[in-house]
Amino acid sequence: MTNVVPLETPKPALQPGAQRVGVLLVNLGTPDTADARGVRVYLKEFLSDARVIEDQGLIWKVVLNGIILRTRPRAKARDYLKIWNTEKNESPLKTITRSQGDKLAAALSDRSHVVVDWAMRYGNPSMQSRIEAMIAQGCDRILVVPLYPQYSASTSATVCDEAFRVLARLRNQPTLRVTPPYYVDEAYIEALATSIETHVAALPFKPELIVASFHGMPKSYVEKGDPYQSHCVATTEALRRRLGMDETKLLLTFQSRFGFAEWLQPYTDKTMERLAKEGVRSIAVVTPGFSADCLETLEEIAQENAEIFEEHGGEHFAAIPCLNDSEPGMDVIRTLVLRELQGWI
């Protein structure tokens, strides 16, 4: 296995006047601890973002501070404990994102002027701390890589918001680039298809169909112009073409709805119930909108939705892992990064 040089280790000396290029992988975020206090801190930061909850008025503040942050953290902490990486005392999302950063650093190790790091939009390590660390190491150009295949204002845009907030405090700003969404990128679709084929072939049963479950969003956000839903549809259609499936064999659903507003449909949990009641006995679920396994894939899909399917008559359920730091997954990230670094390296 290739040894990865830690970020703190000095890079080889540069020629006079030369500068370094930073590559910052960014994922959504995670609590620092799997207890009510840790989840409360995380949820407060996350749900106080106007990109996530657009109406940050007085009513929402009362609901958030008076109800949600008093009741939800304890329940979500129990969910985190079900998937927690006890060896490292951190969430799988943090473990996997760190590994993605390490493997990308190893892949670019022959370029001494490139610094690779990773951060979380909410929680730690913060984007501010990692951008500041890159600047301290001489990076005058930084490529920010939001690890979201499909663009959404509540994910990709808020990464940009935070990056610019950090730069807004600086007199001498580094030049910034941001990778575009890659929802129909050939490398991404091929990696997803290969992963699905490999995992399905290894199952002790043959799924009657596959459900592609994406994180949900309030319907009103799409009505205001967010392209997220169209990106999810495009990803699913590209996967169908690659796998030779139609809409009856590869279904599109949306999970993780929150609150009382109408979200994008069909809902994943309701689809699990419907399919089982209609006589489907074996399914596999893939989550193409997540670049790394997290609470929403390991607990909500692999546990909660598996239980829903089985409670209503389903017999065989498989949750296909995200691309994570697998070789196909790293091919996607490496391809995306090298493409966007053209002219800089």
**In this structure, is the dihedral angle defined by the CA atoms of residues 211, 215, 220 and 222, taken in order, positive or negative?**
negative
pTM over 0.85: yes
DSSP 61: H
Whether 149 is in a domain gets the answer: yes
Whether 228 is in a domain gets the answer: yes
Instruction: Please report the pLDDT score of residue 10 as a whole number.
Output: 46
pLDDT in tens, 61-82: 999 999 999 999 999 999 999 9
CB-CB neighbours of 125 under 10 Å: 15
The three-state secondary structure class of 3 is coil
Angle at the Cα of 60 from the Cα atoms of 55 and 64, rounded to 5 degrees: 130
Q: Do 167 and 216 belong together in one domain?
A: no
Q: How many CA atoms lie within 13 A of 246 on its CB side?
A: 1
- Domain span at 165: 20-182+327-340
Report the distance separating Cα 15 and Cα 256, nearest Å.
50
Q: Do 288 and 333 belong together in one domain?
A: no
pLDDT in tens, 276-312: 999 999 999 999 999 999 999 999 999 999 999 999 9
Nearest CA among 29, 18, 1, 16 for reference residue 295: 29
Whether 9 is in a domain gets the answer: no
pLDDT in tens, 15-56: 444 589 999 999 999 999 999 999 999 999 999 999 999 999
- List the chain residues with pLDDT less than 50: 1-17
Instruction: Please report the pLDDT score of residue 259 as a whole number.
Output: 84
Q: Do 78 and 38 belong together in one domain?
A: yes
Beta bridge partners of residue 213, listed in sequence order: 253
Mean pLDDT of the chain: 94
Whether 102 contacts 118, CB under 8 Å? no
Q: Say whether the peptide bond before residue 125 is cis (omega within 30 degrees of 0).
A: yes
CATH number of the domain that 59 lies in?
A: 3.40.50.1400
